[in-house]
Structure 1
Amino acid sequence: MAKTGKKRLRAAWLQVHKWIGLTLAVLIIPISLTGSALVWHDALDAKLEPQRYAELGAAALPASDYAAAATRALQPGEALTALRFDKGGGPVVATATRATEAGGRPVRTSLWLDPRDASLIDRASGNSGLVQVMHVLHGSLMVPGWGRTIVGWIGVFMLISCISGLWLWWPLSGSVTSGLKWKRRNTLNANLHYMTGFWILFPLAMLSFTGAWISFPKVFGQFEPRPAPSAAASREAAARARPLVTPASSVDQAITAAEPFATGALTGVTWPTDQKAEWKVSFERKGGPAEVVVADGSLTATKPKPPQPETLARTMRRWHDGTGMGMTWQVVIFLGGIIPALLSITGIIIWWRARGPRQRAKDARRLAV
């Protein structure tokens, strides 16, 4: 009786596993492949857009010169919002935003400037370029509004698929090591599906879980050690803030006011906005940049806060994308993107080939009635 119940449960898990794979394959494959490529997004972007990563020399001009050069290259409706400096001698990157008519998030544009003379090297919208397209495809399937939620639920179903896959992999008889044999089935596709599915099971479950965590910040935010209910709303409001086109103080004055609190090389400056008339001047520091807040107009500088402990949400994101996790972890994540696509393809082939015998069996039963 127990054996019959076990077989029934296994058959139920098979149906769950099969239909998750079949119905979501068309979505799982692009999400997985783009996630695999984005593990090394900076290196990939450098290959595609080498002019943005060229080592040209240290920034030799006042920040106001780069700001002026970027402003001249702006299009109507755009306003300069930040400058970022590369200690490795790469281009100075200016960021500009343009408000949308619907009142949504402003459209962002990046401009790369030569650090030696502030000449314009390149310009691109925040939504353009292959790497950015892959980010959008991976994070929201390029579906406005509901896309991120859809991706989050795909992560949930992939986690269920991992659990059901482990159950189906587990040998019905014999030791667990018998499940590691290559020729468990009589076809190449089935053996590939069993073996690659087992070896990628735990990394894939982790990627699925962290992907769902990232997609549903309001749901999982309650697990943070120090939850801040208003933090998400504040970030959302800040994302819609408009930089001041003519602040009371210049960018050079803001940097000069912040320099007494410098902890290293200058890394960036953010313009005051219509929500907060404050300059934010960032300096290099171990454990995260030191941000000095300078009041626009009075030029009163505030000492930077000490490095904040990493949040659970940030940890989940690093586990998911491999940032700062080392080459071994990044390779695991890379394979965790490639192999699900392989599992989807082999699973479809296994299902398709099994349809013939099942259909013939159904026809035979029908004729026997």
Structure 2
Amino acid sequence: MAFFSSRSHVLWPDRTTLWRWHFFAGLFCLPFVIMLCVTGSLYLFKPQIETFLDRDIDHAVSDGLPRSVSAQRDAALAAVEGGHFLALEMPSRKKQATRVLVAHGADVARVYIDPVTLRVLACRDEQTRFERLVFRLHGQLLIGNWGSVIMEMVASWTIVLVVTGLLLWWPRGGGAQGSVVPRLRLAGRPFWRDLHAVGGMWVSLVLVLFLVSGLPWSFVWGSAFSAVESRIGRLVAIQDWEIGAVPIAATLSGHAAMPGMSDAEMASMDGGSENGSDSGRQTERASHSGLDAVFETAQHLAFPAPVLVTPPTSAGGEWHIRSDAQNRPRRIEASVTAGGAVTHIARFADKTFSDRLIGYGVAFHEGHLFGVLNLALNLLVAFVLTLASVAALVIWLKRRRPGHLDAPKASPRPVAAGALVVMVVLGVLLPELGASLLLLVLANALFGRRFSALR
């Protein structure tokens, strides 16, 4: 297939234009791509790493008969001034500290309680735990919704990077060597070129799946998608994924957060008292009665771990038992009365088509959709993608003259019609890509004569 023949330049960009787009997209994206590969690889092993980090706490648990769960909750509340009960994480092993999540103001504390002695073994800020730090760095650069917007733009331009890279890679004769299999016996730039081109080709399809499955988490695209679904009559009581920088209390309690809602506002939704008055605490104790019976029901249900037990939002309301398993198709939730009777069970199969589709995508993205094979595939893709990204940087550094960018020269031909249509469609589907393209067009019109890199 000749993408670069003299007859095709009207529909498709010539090779010079593709090189230029690929170069600038890579210059912007590759540092972020390497960071995403590292943080994503760490997140694949979130359960194992969290267990390792908490090992000393769990080893400190005393031997003996555990006290009631409500007593353990009260011990955790006493350890956090002005706090209120947000959730309890069901134990997944026999000898394990009880994890009680306590909201206080705009923060959430994870309190580790010895179930036998009711002694506080540790108290940690939920946002600074390993899992949350890696999650926020991976999707938000630790700066909230602005970071989410940046990462969404990176994802959009990485799609351009993949498409232009595949068009440049497309074989134009010759065998599999250098196109399907890297020529590892070469040295210098040809060696790094093969690592980049062949490695990028093999991971391109999975990489696009990663990028697309991550969009529902992003602030702009995810918010727009949620708004469209609401417009067509979809109603979700509990959203199964985060959109942008969601208050940690909303994530843990399972209550949908409104745009701009703070953790403190989420805390008040969950029955907390902002001023910590006696009347507020009495109301909270009344609405949170029945934990022991609900805990016993949760043990019998045996949902896939980790399982969170969350209290009702008002006196007389129902408790919720929710599985937060990383393999989202296995997630299940139950509504339970204060007496422990199950009134409703919601399974993954009961969700709407779009929710199930996103659930499958997220589970694949996190490496838990089809077990160890999914984990190994994601780890392999991250490794090869990091190698291809590093190879691209080495190629550029070897070619670049000191003090020069040495970007590929701009093509004298006008933008091809087919490429323009594709970019317009992508710009509509990916708002950050569209906005950045408009900015580039404007910058070219204003400064293109003075700065050749903008043309």
Instruction: Please give the range of the TM-score, normalised by the shorter of the 2 chains.
Output: 0.7 to 0.9
* Structure-2 separation of matches of 1:268 and 1:133: 20
Q: CA deviation at 1:257?
A: 7.3
Q: How does 1:99-118 map to 2 (within 5 A)?
A: 99-100=105-106, 107-118=107-118
Give the aligned partner of residue 70 of structure 1: 76
Q: Deviations over 1:98-117 (max 9, x none)?
A: 233xxxxxx21111222333
Give the aligned partner of residue 346 of structure 1: 391
1:272 pairs with 2:312: yes
* Structure-2 separation of matches of 1:136 and 1:11: 38
1:60 pairs with 2:66: yes
Distance 1:335 1:259, change over 3 A: closer
Q: CA deviation at 1:261?
A: 9.6
**SS at structure 1 position matched to 2:39:** helix
Q: How does 1:205-354 map to 2 (within 5 A)?
A: 205-215=208-218, 216-221=221-226, 222=228, 228=234, 235-237=256-258, 240=266, 241-244=269-272, 245-246=281-282, 247=284, 249=286, 251=288, 253-256=290-293, 263-265=300-302, 268-273=308-313, 278-282=317-321, 287-294=330-337, 303-309=343-349, 311-354=356-399
Out of 5, 14, 17, the residue aligned to residue 22 of structure 2 is 17
**SS at structure 2 position matched to 1:123:** strand
Distance 1:144 1:213, change over 3 A: closer
Q: How does 1:61-210 map to 2 (within 5 A)?
A: 61-74=67-80, 76-89=81-94, 90-100=96-106, 107-174=107-174, 179-183=179-183, 187-210=190-213
1:3 pairs with 2:42: no
Out of 26, 29, 40, the residue aligned to residue 31 of structure 2 is 26
- Unmatched runs of 5 consecutive residues or more in structure 2: 244-254, 273-280, 410-455
**SS at structure 1 position matched to 2:286:** coil
Q: CA deviation at 1:175?
A: 5.5
Give the aligned partner of residue 103 of structure 1: none
Give the aligned partner of residue 36 of structure 1: 41
Does the aligned pair in 1 maintain the 2:97–2:112 contact within 8 Å?
A: yes
Question: Which region of structure 1 is more displaced relative to structure 2, 11-20 or 248-257?
Answer: 248-257
Does the aligned pair in 2 maintain the 1:258–1:294 contact within 8 Å?
A: no
Q: Deviations over 1:271-296 (max 9, x none)?
A: 3336x86341428899544423437x
* Structure-1 separation of matches of 2:212 and 2:71: 46
Q: CA deviation at 1:140?
A: 0.3
* Structure-2 separation of matches of 1:223 and 1:136: 25
Give the aligned partner of residue 50 of structure 2: 45
**SS at structure 1 position matched to 2:210:** helix
Distance 1:223 1:202, change over 3 A: farther
State TM-score, norm by structure 2.
0.66
Root mean square deviation, CA, Å: 3.8
Give the aligned partner of residue 104 of structure 1: none
Does the aligned pair in 2 maintain the 1:322–1:329 contact within 8 Å?
A: yes
Does the aligned pair in 2 maintain the 1:55–1:88 contact within 8 Å?
A: no
**SS at structure 1 position matched to 2:111:** strand
Q: Deviations over 1:9-57 (max 9, x none)?
A: 2322222221111122332222221011111111122233323555957
* Structure-2 separation of matches of 1:5 and 1:353: 34
Distance 1:290 1:136, change over 3 A: closer
Alignment: residue pair count = 349
Distance 1:258 1:201, change over 3 A: closer
Does the aligned pair in 2 maintain the 1:84–1:268 contact within 8 Å?
A: yes
Distance 1:23 1:330, change over 3 A: same
Does the aligned pair in 1 maintain the 2:70–2:292 contact within 8 Å?
A: no
**SS at structure 2 position matched to 1:117:** coil
Q: CA deviation at 1:58?
A: 9.3
Q: Deviations over 1:229-254 (max 9, x none)?
A: 67569711497124343335375535
Distance 1:243 1:325, change over 3 A: farther
**SS at structure 2 position matched to 1:291:** strand
* Structure-2 separation of matches of 1:334 and 1:172: 31
Q: Deviations over 1:318-356 (max 9, x none)?
A: 111113431111122123333333333221221232234
- Unmatched runs of 5 consecutive residues or more in structure 1: 101-106, 363-369
Question: Which region of structure 1 is more displaced relative to structure 2, 249-258 or 76-85?
Answer: 249-258
* Structure-2 separation of matches of 1:260 and 1:350: 60
Does the aligned pair in 1 maintain the 2:69–2:295 contact within 8 Å?
A: no
- Of all paired residues, the percent bearing the same amino acid is 18
**SS at structure 2 position matched to 1:278:** coil
